[in-house]
Chain A
């Protein structure tokens, strides 16, 4: 293993600590006594005392932070202020649904984005290119929560083809690989896929255009290589960056799905966060954000390592 890999992995440690500190301080950012934020006002006195001791609110801040981190490391993120359930269990149950949604959206967005980007970049300046570019700008500019409502109006209200809310028949929170569940996934996944589609299209298009301008492409053509094979060379050069962009986009989707989940009442971390905000349930808010952010840090690490693996030039720079 090279020093680059080691450095990159070690870099995760301070970032994780800083992210934890940020999430920890969210409770103290909120107006009023932090105790009010973590227990409901009508909680019995014994509960308040117990929570106060558990959180260590009577101790100095650095000590509180250390206590919080040590409990988080053991998988204990506290109890929900709204319903008293364990935060960790709530967050991971929701995370499963959000991951499913984000993965489906990434798959759609990546496939479409690569196809559009390759076509537009290869025939740069053509009508197709202009159409695709316009489509991509639309994709990155559209308020996706609004697009979701638009899709609901067309496919649920007017055509009555697809359900407009929930993750499955009834008010089921679990998910199965069956058509009855799959139909619930289609609209939110398509809605969410628009952002990565736009970003990947723009990146791939720009890269293809840049690679085609290189001298080695001219050389490939000069030695008589069929155009199809030249195209293959281009694809090979674009792939690492496209994959890296997609990896990062997956992370953004995990955080960005909150608005789409709200529109479709998708039982994921976004809906959990949304409810937590309105019930002033700070332990849930704190826990969800910590888990999502750490997931994002991990994803960033994987993307960087994979990219360095695919493209040795990165390790040297």
Chain B
């Protein structure tokens, strides 16, 4: 907003509308070419997942014993076929649905649960805080992959169990960030003022704390999606997540692995998709972090 002499001296002029916080963040993000490209690619993949039945040339389930393990560029199989003669292109397009779902859902779940735990711990403070954070600390004694595999392995294979395991993996880091941001906000003067004016805790959290802490927690959570994508597909790759014949990138990578000597370059395609989504989320998250000026 430019401050001309005219508006500065005229007391009657209406003040120009202050752009909202999210709008200014988005404006800054738009000037970040890397984040924008990453965002557009992700948007394309999400659209591909939504419109999969209309985009895929074939059904992801239709097998053909006559056309097994076709190389890339075969007639009727632009990206080759798998060990059961299914069209890999169609399976990749359909696979986006499940792969994105199992990769993103754990972080969303953990964002909700972890934020709640962290905000309560940070806001209440004292002994409650200590107890909650010590329990959280225990989960830090396990490397993330190990924790996910321990839980998924003990609970048994399946999509719900893998979603649950990954959610448990991401709650502690998010709760820790939420706690530390909330603790900082809690000691700010306007919270004291709100308390002094008789506002109840729940009101203070809703009106004054949430708006200030959710941004940084959100940015941190987006940085976890990349890991979550890799781990979710990794669990399917180990046979702990999606079950055959579902089209899912990690599982496709697993079943096509046996054909690595026969049809090597078709085998790597599902991994290419996981990599693309994962790196795009990382770059978008980096862009978001600098656009929102969050330091964690």
Q: Which of B155, B264, B271 contacts A143 (CB 8 A)?
A: B271
Q: A141-B278, A146-B268, A282-B154 are in contact. Are A259 and B237 (CB under 8 A)?
A: yes
B70 — which chain A residues lie within 8 A by C-beta? none
A252 to B36 alpha-carbon distance, docked (Å): 32
Contact B234 A252 (CB under 8 A): no
Contact A145 B234 (CB under 8 A): yes
Binary interface encoding of chain B residues 245-266 relative to chain A, with 1 for a CB under 8 A from any of its CBs, else 0: 0000010010001001100110
Q: A27-B154, A137-B283, A152-B260 are in contact. Are A146 and B274 (CB under 8 A)?
A: yes
A163 within 8 Å of B (CB atoms): no
A142, A144, A158, A276 — which one has the most chain B CB atoms within 10 A of its CB?
Answer: A142
A263 — which chain B residues lie within 8 A by C-beta? 257
B260 — which chain A residues lie within 8 A by C-beta? 149, 152-153, 157
Contact A143 B238 (CB under 8 A): no
B115 within 8 Å of A (CB atoms): no
A140, A141, A285, A289 — which one has the most chain B CB atoms within 10 A of its CB?
Answer: A141
Contact B141 A293 (CB under 8 A): yes
A256 within 8 Å of B (CB atoms): yes
A293 to B144 alpha-carbon distance, docked (Å): 11
Binary interface encoding of chain A residues 279-317 relative to chain B, with 1 for a CB under 8 A from any of its CBs, else 0: 000100100010011001100100000000000000000
A68 shortest CB reach to chain B, Å: 15
Contact B275 A31 (CB under 8 A): no
B141 — which chain A residues lie within 8 A by C-beta? 15, 18-19, 293, 296-297, 300
Q: What is the interface of chain B, defined by CB distance below 8 A to chain A? A: 134, 137-138, 141-147, 149-151, 153-156, 226, 229-230, 233-234, 237-240, 250, 253, 257, 260-261, 264-265, 267-268, 270-272, 274-275, 278-279, 281-283, 286
B254 shortest CB reach to chain A, Å: 9
A31 — which chain B residues lie within 8 A by C-beta? 155-156
B241 shortest CB reach to chain A, Å: 12
A27 to B150 alpha-carbon distance, docked (Å): 11
B260 shortest CB reach to chain A, Å: 6
B261 shortest CB reach to chain A, Å: 6
Contact B275 A142 (CB under 8 A): yes
What range describes how many residues of A lie at the interface? 35 or more
Query: Can you sample 7 A-B contacts with CB below 8 Å?
Result: A15-B138, A18-B138, A19-B138, A31-B155, A141-B230, A145-B237, A296-B142
A154 shortest CB reach to chain B, Å: 9
A288 to B239 alpha-carbon distance, docked (Å): 19
Closest 9 CB pairs of A and B: A146-B271, A255-B143, A255-B146, A141-B279, A277-B153, A18-B138, A153-B264, A26-B154, A141-B278
B145 — which chain A residues lie within 8 A by C-beta? 252, 255-256, 258-259
B146, B267, B281, B282 — which one has the most chain A CB atoms within 10 A of its CB?
Answer: B146
Interface SS, A side: helix
B237 — which chain A residues lie within 8 A by C-beta? 145, 259, 262
A293 — which chain B residues lie within 8 A by C-beta? 141-142, 146
B153, B257, B274, B278 — which one has the most chain A CB atoms within 10 A of its CB?
Answer: B153
A157 to B267 alpha-carbon distance, docked (Å): 12
A169 within 8 Å of B (CB atoms): no
A194 shortest CB reach to chain B, Å: 11
Given A15-B137, A292-B146, A296-B142, 8 extra CB contacts under 8 A: A15-B141, A137-B279, A141-B282, A143-B275, A145-B234, A146-B275, A293-B146, A296-B141
Q: Which of A18, A30, A274 contacts B156 (CB 8 A)?
A: A30
Contact A285 B268 (CB under 8 A): no
Contact B155 A29 (CB under 8 A): yes
B144 shortest CB reach to chain A, Å: 7
